[in-house]
Structure 1
């Protein structure tokens, strides 16, 4: 059974419960890795994600899809690989020669490789359709969707680089033999160049106040290098990479539940604790804040600003003046009108008959 302080390992693969959204917030329903795993190695036990070590084959196909980097494979770190990609002789990603399954990468990784290297990146997808890991077609679809998301962003910001795909089909490939050969290659060939990569992510995860996934940090650092050259940094359309929020002033009660449960501190209080800030650069779109908000004051908002994303600029969503309720004498966030809190208004409205005097009967 899973424990939130326990790191489960299966050969080369490990799952850290403390970084999983299912453990961060009890009602979160993230099941990306469960739906993606072709071997059924993940399951929910008592609402906690559990890794079944005997079923996991360490293919790494789920790693890039985890929004909080709770999944890792030993001897290969996609963050370190992406950060050092510009120094590689050939800009090719292939599970036959240089990487595990391309599912190990997220859209952020592809963008880091393209932006930092200043060149297009080639992805060998020629045998994804016949790969034994792609039995239900989900793995290939996920890889292609992440590449498409990265390319749409590059097109949006008018960059010439693209994430290209190689589609030439190979002949005489026996599926099981290909999988066994590829898996052994990963274990043997990647280790010799992974020590710096591994140390990079391990060091990041050991920082007590660092809640943002390293892939997002790398992307923001990459954006800092190009935002000065962009003609436009503000975009009105929605993005699969960057998320925006809005808080309704009249509905919000300033209870701070959204702040407490935000896994990346994208929502945080003002210095006087009477307002809420939101940082686009830290938001991973998990939806916890929207789900936990009892009055439904938090909603999605389209549009993103690359300057705000890259430099972690925060926007003040709401701010309240705290006044004393003239009924219960308790401070509450004032929104205009008579100085009476919502609780007292509700009580008076619902139980007014309790205060009817005898002479009024």
Structure 2
């Protein structure tokens, strides 16, 4: 069997935090027991895969790829084409491969409505993808509406079919002969070709999550499209989007560095002095790992994400610290102006007092 799907485990958010909530690839896969979650790790059964591309387009970090279908390549070709129709019989393996990033960007770049041909979904063996397709359309149209763009992604039962090309018998015979010859030539060298799924070869033993971050191509595609629109004072409601967010940090932050060390994309980072926690919505994928790992639970979502902040690719300061040595243990900690004893020493003192009370 020729495996066309590949999964780069080192791009998955679960490499950065194994208990991450993200399981989008599992949820969008239409074939049971193909992409599963086992012991907090993604497992792919390639023999079951039907190469629909849903995982490819909907993975926030683009961990999946299908040989022969490159989403960015499709995107740029479609922009140059006069056609505004997308169909599984024309230019994509399945409409579910296009998430809100690509769909909304296509409308903006082409300056017209985009039509998704859902006629074939009715009789398709993976027809249940229509729910995912409609959801992605809804999310894309929210982006367009919030950005003040008049164009929309629309679903229609077009029923596109590729036109039949009539050939004379001699040409058909020659074409068949060439195909057979090419096939024989391929299998003659097949054992010398590199494996299709290079990410599964096991050459790499670990990933340095602190220094090695993921940057999805579709993020640049969406930002470049939105940068061509007048988005002054326009914003997304954070609870209505899944592709990014805006955040704030309260005063209980201790500058422990856990949040930005495990951030998959580097949306959260620190200044060179390590005294500031910085954040860029342009890189955020709303995985919420930073919220989950924060010991103080001091990271919060803003209600709005201004589109100009998203497009700018700039970092803003979420927290700024003054570090002083603890008067007890001399270990540096974030000074809040109230005490010169670090939180750890204060906790030890509290525990000691409790023990003394028990002794009395």
| TM-score for the superposition, normalised by structure 2 | 0.79
Query: What is aligned with 2:188?
Result: none
Describe the shift of the 1:82–1:168 C-alpha distance in structure 2 as closer, same or farther (beyond 3 A). Answer: closer
- Does structure 2 retain, via aligned residues, the 8 Å contact 1:37–1:62? yes
* In structure 1, distance between residues paired with 2:155 and 2:259: 40
Query: What is aligned with 2:139?
Result: 149
How far did residue 209 of structure 1 move? 6.5
- Does structure 1 retain, via aligned residues, the 8 Å contact 2:20–2:289? yes
* In structure 2, distance between residues paired with 1:100 and 1:22: 27
How far did residue 330 of structure 1 move? 2.0
Query: What is aligned with 2:154?
Result: 164
Task: Output one character per residue of 1:303-338: Cα deviation in whole Å (capped at 9) or x when no partner.
Answer: 112222112111100011111222222221011212
- Which SS does the other structure have where 1:291 is aligned? helix
From 233, 241, 244, the counterpart of 1:242: 244
Query: What is aligned with 1:70?
Result: 63
* In structure 2, distance between residues paired with 1:44 and 1:316: 36
Query: What is aligned with 1:103?
Result: 96
* In structure 1, distance between residues paired with 2:4 and 2:108: 30
- Does structure 1 retain, via aligned residues, the 8 Å contact 2:265–2:283? yes
Describe the shift of the 1:28–1:10 C-alpha distance in structure 2 as closer, same or farther (beyond 3 A). Answer: farther
- Does structure 2 retain, via aligned residues, the 8 Å contact 1:63–1:69? yes
How far did residue 169 of structure 1 move? 7.4
How far did residue 83 of structure 1 move? 2.7
How far did residue 355 of structure 1 move? 8.4
- Which SS does the other structure have where 1:282 is aligned? coil
1:269 aligns with 2:270: yes
Q: How does 1:1-361 map to 2 (within 5 A)?
A: 11-39=3-31, 40-134=33-127, 137=128, 139-167=129-157, 211-226=214-229, 229-234=230-235, 238-240=239-241, 241-250=243-252, 252-352=253-353
- Which SS does the other structure have where 1:148 is aligned? helix
- Does structure 2 retain, via aligned residues, the 8 Å contact 1:10–1:56? no
* In structure 1, distance between residues paired with 2:139 and 2:258: 32
Task: Output one character per residue of 1:159-187: Cα deviation in whole Å (capped at 9) or x when no partner.
Answer: 111111103679xxxxxxxxxxxxxxxxx
How far did residue 260 of structure 1 move? 0.8
How far did residue 216 of structure 1 move? 0.6
What RMSD in Å do the two structures reach over aligned CA positions? 2.4
Number of equivalent positions: 307
Task: Output one character per residue of 1:273-303: Cα deviation in whole Å (capped at 9) or x when no partner.
Answer: 0120010010001111111112211122221
* In structure 2, distance between residues paired with 1:152 and 1:233: 12
* Structure 2 unpaired stretches of 5+: 161-178, 180-210
- Which SS does the other structure have where 1:123 is aligned? strand
- Does structure 1 retain, via aligned residues, the 8 Å contact 2:117–2:159? no
Query: What is aligned with 1:192?
Result: none
How far did residue 102 of structure 1 move? 0.8
- Does structure 1 retain, via aligned residues, the 8 Å contact 2:233–2:306? no
Task: Output one character per residue of 1:123-151: Cα deviation in whole Å (capped at 9) or x when no partner.
Answer: 111232442113xx3x2111111111111
Describe the shift of the 1:309–1:10 C-alpha distance in structure 2 as closer, same or farther (beyond 3 A). Answer: farther
Which 10-residue stretch deviates more, 42-51 or 54-63? Answer: 42-51
- Does structure 2 retain, via aligned residues, the 8 Å contact 1:238–1:302? yes
* In structure 1, distance between residues paired with 2:30 and 2:133: 14
